[in-house]
Structure 1
Amino acid sequence: MDNNDNKIIDEAFRLEEDCTYSAKGHFESAKQWRYLYYMLMLFSIITLMLSISNIFVNFSICHIILNITAGLITVIIIFLNPQEKYISHQNSGNHFLSLRNEIRIFREIEISSLELNQKIEKISFLSKKRDELNINSLPISTYGYENAKKQIETDKNTIYEIDKIKGNKNDNK
């Protein structure tokens, strides 16, 4: 293996690591949006039910406050659209994992059978694919990134069973 191959493999590791962080960050952001959606829906349902139950008792200031609260929560749900953001982050995370796997296969299997110019083309293609995913994805929240980073650093020694058997610790970052 020559110096160019080593540089290409190093770049593949960088891309793989970047995809791991991006995927995990998107999954963490998706989790935040899902929880927000559930909380808002729960509060919306509770205030709506209380408001409806107050109609039969009497019309009071409490009834007006409950109606306004239910309306505001509904407006917040419509404006923020947390369910759509959840789905977008979840899909982005899945796309980054898919790309990470594609990079790993290139690095572990395909690279040995390719000529130098084919290796350069492939690593450039994979890099552009990662860049496109970054451009087309929603930004990862700071909280999501910090949680993802903590989880990745905690799980750094986690490896596939086959790699444990073969003694290969390079695969899972």
Structure 2
Amino acid sequence: MSASVTEKVIAELKRMEEDCTHSGKAHFNASDRWTWWNYAFGIPSVVLSAAAGAAFFQDYPITAGVMSSMVTILTALMTFLKPSEKAASHKSSGDQYLALRNDARVFREIELTQITDDTAAIAGMNGLTTRRNELNLASPQVGPQDFKKAKKGIDKGEALQAVDKARN
């Protein structure tokens, strides 16, 4: 395999690994945020619902009515925003980005060293590139705060494995 092609394939795989690390971490941040909203709407809804029932049976109709109205609003927000579904979707995307990052790293570090012709190296890289493009199209969009938080954590070294820290 020519040195020029090898260098270019390695550079592209490193870009892919970096992109997947940032995207995966941003999706995990989005998942955490949506999980928080799910609890922020769901727990008060459950508590208020129980309290409204108790207030109704103890002849506090106004209190029961106010609490029931609040439960209705919280339930409507959960139905409209679907925070649990969004959290699950972002977690799934994060998992897929990290799986792709791992596959790209293994290809770069191990498999590429065994490939002897340019065509096979490029084909392997193209397979991973296709997966990344499909994942980019299928994944929900993350908010800018999720990406900024991911970048900040990555810059602090949160995404490095112990073996990678030892190399640096």
CA distance in 2, matches of 1:162, 1:89: 26
Cα 1:62/1:16, change in 2 over 3 Å? same
CA distance in 1, matches of 2:161, 2:141: 28
Q: CA deviation at 1:40?
A: 0.7
CA distance in 2, matches of 1:26, 1:144: 7
> 1:64-102, CA deviations, whole angstroms, 9 ceiling, x for partnerless residues?
221111011111111211111111111111111111010
Q: Residue in 2 aligned with 1:60?
A: 61
TM normalised by structure 2 equals 0.91
Q: Residue in 2 aligned with 1:145?
A: 147
| 1:62-81 matched pairs, under 5 angstroms | 62-81=63-82
Q: Residue in 2 aligned with 1:23?
A: 24
Matched residue of 2:106: which SS? helix
Q: CA deviation at 1:159?
A: 3.9
CA distance in 2, matches of 1:102, 1:158: 16
Query: Could you list the runs of 5+ residues in structure 1 that have no partner in the other structure?
Result: none
Matched residue of 1:100: which SS? helix
The more displaced of 60-69 and 46-55 is 60-69
Q: CA deviation at 1:58?
A: 2.1
Aligned CA-pair RMSD: 1.8
Counting matched residue pairs gives 166
Q: Residue in 2 aligned with 1:97?
A: 98
CA distance in 2, matches of 1:95, 1:158: 18
CA distance in 2, matches of 1:10, 1:154: 23
Q: Residue in 1 aligned with 2:118?
A: 116
Q: CA deviation at 1:160?
A: 2.7
Q: Residue in 2 aligned with 1:106?
A: 107
CA distance in 1, matches of 2:159, 2:19: 17
> 1:35-61, CA deviations, whole angstroms, 9 ceiling, x for partnerless residues?
110111111012112211111222433
CA distance in 2, matches of 1:12, 1:138: 23
CA distance in 1, matches of 2:145, 2:121: 37
> 1:131-161, CA deviations, whole angstroms, 9 ceiling, x for partnerless residues?
1111111111212111111100001694433
TM normalised by structure 1 equals 0.89
- Partner letter of residue 143 of structure 1? Q
